[in-house]
């Protein structure tokens, strides 16, 4: 059974589960609604959710028969062969599409920035990766990953707010609020909502903390000492319930863990790589002849790289860790959406090229060679 609302959401019952799919629908409190994600480590983990998501996309956004449109999908460079083959089989057998292609998201991010060769530094929610791309192909031996990313920063912010005894009330619980002075207890009226699940409540709290991150945090040019920290300007932030406070040293100390994980809380003595080390390690694993091309075209992607001062700090640290003769250039759009969705933009550029049309896996090729053809056609 499907119930379609005006907002374009889909509520679908499938195999005794009811799926609520859509960005707007996700933020509406519903009793007993658990939050799930079809991906794990960038690869499809829950195929049932993924298939329901595709059904929703075709019905509400594409609004056309899948038979009419070839499909280009992005994938992480470490995607496994069996998942690639299963995805190819799903698209041809279930959706009956005319043509299909899988492309590495690092390659698409490079294309989005007008380059076919470069080092793509992608820092998203779960991990920071450096992926060397040469002439449109990923160099698998040079991929370096680190768990220091957006979720790590969110966790650090949550600990800070807990230590400061600041109660993070998500937006859905606030019906109205009154203006209060700095650091005074908030005065607000709670909204009456259904009995929501812990996973959904935590997601809504995380959205508030992520807004706090984007508004308050700043990466300093160098590793700051205590004297410098005390002289830095503060940033004011107002929480959804009306409580507001100025944040000083904390807004510099938290993102410091991206570049120096040894100083980050919970990572003391750990060998986890910071962003600069991830870049240098990745370039060092490439052939010596293409290292200059990597350093001269470092492409930033992912929402975590949008933290204020991220690219300046990365450039400054690379200058101190490389030879003076090394030409360094960091490329990255200043637009939030372009940095976050660079794979999508690169995909639209690639699919519109005349030379790309011969690279599609056609329906005929799939019927002749089977799902294994994805390994040959989409390296």
pLDDT range class, residue 9, cuts 50, 70, 90: low
Q: 347 and 109 in contact (C-beta within 8 Å)?
A: no
Query: 3-state class of 91 per DSSP?
Result: helix
pLDDT above 60: residue 13: no
Phi, psi of 77, rounded to the nearest 5 degrees: -60, -20
3-state percent breakdown (helix, strand, coil) of the chain, nearest 5: 45, 20, 35
pLDDT range class, residue 173, cuts 50, 70, 90: very high
Measured CA to CA in angstroms, residue 298 lies from 25, 109, 118, 220, 261 at distances of: 37, 11, 6, 20, 21
pLDDT tens digits, 296-351: 999 999 889 999 999 999 999 999 998 888 899 999 888 888 888 899 999 999 99
Q: What's this model's pTM, rounded to 2 decimal places?
A: 0.89
Residue of 42 and 225 predicted with greater confidence: 42
Helices 342-352 and 105-112, packing angle to 10 deg: 80
pLDDT above 90: residue 260: no
pLDDT above 70: residue 5: no
Q: 364 and 352 in contact (C-beta within 8 Å)?
A: no
pLDDT range class, residue 182, cuts 50, 70, 90: confident
């Amino acid at each position: 059974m499907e119930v379609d609302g005006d907002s374009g959401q889909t509520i679908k019952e499938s195999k005794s589960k009811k799926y609520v799919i859509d960005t707007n629908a996700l933020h509406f409190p519903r009793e007993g609604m658990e939050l799930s994600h079809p991906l794990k480590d960038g690869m499809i983990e829950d195929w049932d959710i993924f298939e329901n998501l595709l059904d929703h996309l075709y019905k509400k956004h594409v609004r056309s028969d899948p038979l009419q449109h070839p499909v280009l999908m992005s994938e992480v460079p470490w995607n496994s062969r069996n998942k690639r083959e299963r995805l190819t089989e799903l698209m041809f057998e279930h959706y009956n599409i005319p043509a299909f292609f899988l492309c590495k998201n690092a390659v698409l991010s490079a294309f989005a920035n007008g380059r076919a060769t470069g080092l793509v530094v992608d820092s998203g929610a779960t991990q920071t990766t450096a992926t060397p791309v040469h002439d449109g192909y990923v160099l698998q031996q040079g991929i370096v990953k680190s768990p220091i990313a957006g979720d790590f920063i969110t966790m650090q912010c949550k600990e800070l707010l807990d230590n400061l005894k600041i109660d993070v009330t998500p937006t859905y619980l606030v019906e109205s609020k009154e203006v209060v002075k700095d650091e005074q207890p908030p005065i607000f009226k709670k909204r009456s909502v259904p009995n929501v699940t812990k996973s959904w409540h935590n997601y809504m709290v995380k959205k508030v903390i992520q807004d706090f991150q984007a508004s308050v945090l700043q990466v300093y040019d160098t590793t700051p000492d205590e004297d410098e920290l005390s002289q830095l300007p503060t940033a004011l932030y107002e929480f959804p319930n009306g409580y507001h406070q100025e944040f000083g040293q904390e807004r510099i100390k938290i993102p410091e863990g991206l570049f120096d994980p040894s100083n980050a809380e919970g990572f003391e003595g750990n060998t986890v790589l910071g962003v600069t080390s991830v870049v240098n390690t990745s370039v060092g694993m490439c052939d010596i002849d293409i290292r200059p091309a990597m350093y001269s075209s470092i492409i930033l992607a992912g929402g975590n790289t949008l933290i204020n001062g991220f690219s300046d700090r990365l450039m400054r640290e690379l200058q101190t860790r490389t030879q003076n003769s090394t030409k360094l250039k960091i490329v990255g759009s200043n637009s939030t959406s372009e940095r976050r969705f660079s794979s999508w933009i690169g995909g639209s550029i690639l699919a519109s090229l005349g030379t790309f049309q011969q690279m599609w896996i056609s329906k005929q090729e799939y019927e002749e060679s089977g799902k294994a053809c994805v390994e040959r056609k989409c390296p």
